[in-house]
Amino acid sequence: MKVPRAQLRSAIRALCADFGNDYWQAADRARSYPREFVDALTEAGYLACLVPEEYGGMGLGMTEASLILEEINRSGANSGACHAQMYTMGTLLRHGSDEQKRKFLPGIASGELRLQAFAVTEPDAGSDTTRIRTFARREGDRYIVNGQKVFISRVRQSDLMILLARTTPPAEGRKRTAGLSVFLVDLREAGDRIRVAPIDTMINHESCEIHFDDLEIPVANRIGEEGRGFRYIISGMNAERILLASESIGDGLHFIDRASDYASARRVFGREIGANQGVQFPIADAYMQIRAAAAVRDQAARAYDDGETRGEGPNMAKYLASRAAWKAANVAMDTFGGWGMASEYGIERKFREARLYMVAPVANNLILSHVATHVLGMPRSF
């Protein structure tokens, strides 16, 4: 499907206009899931934008998906409530069998099946994914899973979840990335074999701790070959990084829109505060940094759509965008003076939300390490 970009942008803006600052402030205060907003996006088909048309999706590319998330966040909304419905299915699409795709993708495209949980992080492994300990032991036509995950977002709003687990213990002389496998967990059938408890964080993000107690997964729900899961997960991370960079760019532009409007209207000492270079220059500087990050993101999205599989572009886009958004967040805070901290203005909420992308889905230090070693060829530090 071809959708002109300008048309897509204005359609997203129109949809988001029904969910203004009051809506998001109320959800943030109540720590409630913004269901009405997610339903509206689902009904309009945007969360299925990356699902091929043959499975009922819009069949758009990473470039258009990026634009959708950027516009959502630019409006002041928070895509974090549902962004994973867009890209988590990529693991299934790229590495699943035809039968798995036929079984699950149409339901995911319509929104009937919510696949927006992605379980990788563990308390002891942290950023070193190869050290995860959640283990899936094969017994006939099933796997029996035991272990623990942390910060698994939207698991309570999902029917399906992608899970990374060990299927072979780490062994001397073997690559640390070997022996990991990916599964599609049907949460509706899990019963008390999965215990979920929310983790209270500084943003309204529905992140949870999960314990697996002898969870049974049919072998038919393993994605791809046993032991090659790390490779499958990494391939999905490129899409995630480009898309979350887009959210940061949207956040950054939201801060710039708000700060420049406020600076042009607020009068102190008999003139608009934005007439002072000490106020306007930081806004202009932050804006240029967002535009620079957006250019790197655009390049990464185009390359992804053309089949690029290396992590360089997506990682750099995520790093630059998260930092540009964080800079803009601080500039907006300064511009609003004391009112930046008053929740009714929504700046402090977005400030908290924008901070997440400095650490998730991958900590920025790990991106520096990737660029230093994989792009520039310097010695590895770990």
365 binds ligand FAD (CB under 6 A): yes
Tokens of 141: 């036509």
Q: Among residues 97, 127, 264, 276, which is the contact residue for ligand FAD, using CB under 6 A?
A: 127
218 binds ligand FAD (CB under 6 A): no
CB 71 within 8 A of CB 16: yes
Q: Beta strand 267-268 with 271-272: parallel, antiparallel or unpaired?
A: antiparallel
Q: Which residue is nearest to ligand FAD (CB)?
A: 126
In this structure, the chain runs to a length of 382
Q: Among residues 20, 126, 198, 218, which is the contact residue for ligand FAD, using CB under 6 A?
A: 126
Smallest separation, CB 319 to ligand FAD (Å):
11
Q: CB under 6 A: which stretch of 93-101, 249-257, 323-331, 361-369 binds ligand FAD?
A: 361-369
241 binds ligand FAD (CB under 6 A): no
CB 236 within 8 A of CB 89: no
Q: Among residues 47, 120, 210, 294, which is the contact residue for ligand FAD, using CB under 6 A?
A: 120
Residues in Cβ contact with 169 at an 8 Å cutoff, skipping those fewer than 6 apart: 135, 179
205 binds ligand FAD (CB under 6 A): yes
Residue 75 or 207 having the CB closest to ligand FAD: 207
Cis peptide bond upstream of 361, omega within 30: yes
Q: CB under 6 A: which stretch of 278-286, 313-321, 325-333, 365-373 binds ligand FAD?
A: 365-373
Count, residues near ligand FAD per rule CB under 6 A: 23
Alpha helices, DSSP H, located in the chain: 5-17, 21-30, 35-43, 62-74, 83-87, 89-95, 98-110, 229-265, 277-305, 312-335, 347-355, 364-370
Smallest separation, CB 327 to ligand FAD (Å):
18
360 binds ligand FAD (CB under 6 A): yes
Residue 7 or 381 having the CB closest to ligand FAD: 381
Q: Phi, psi (5° rounding) for residue 308?
A: -65, 135
To 5 degrees, how large is the angle CA 294–CA 300–CA 301? Answer: 85
Smallest separation, CB 13 to ligand FAD (Å):
26
For the chain, how are helix, strand and coil distributed in percent, rounded to 5? 55, 15, 25
Residue 44 or 366 having the CB closest to ligand FAD: 366
Smallest separation, CB 8 to ligand FAD (Å):
26
CB 249 within 8 A of CB 321: yes
Q: Among residues 187, 221, 356, 357, which is the contact residue for ligand FAD, using CB under 6 A?
A: 356
CB 162 within 8 A of CB 182: yes
119 binds ligand FAD (CB under 6 A): yes
CB 16 within 8 A of CB 75: yes
Q: Among residues 109, 113, 152, 244, which is the contact residue for ligand FAD, using CB under 6 A?
A: 152
Residues that bind ligand FAD (CB under 6 A): 118-121, 126-127, 151-153, 201, 205, 207, 356, 359-363, 365-366, 369, 381-382
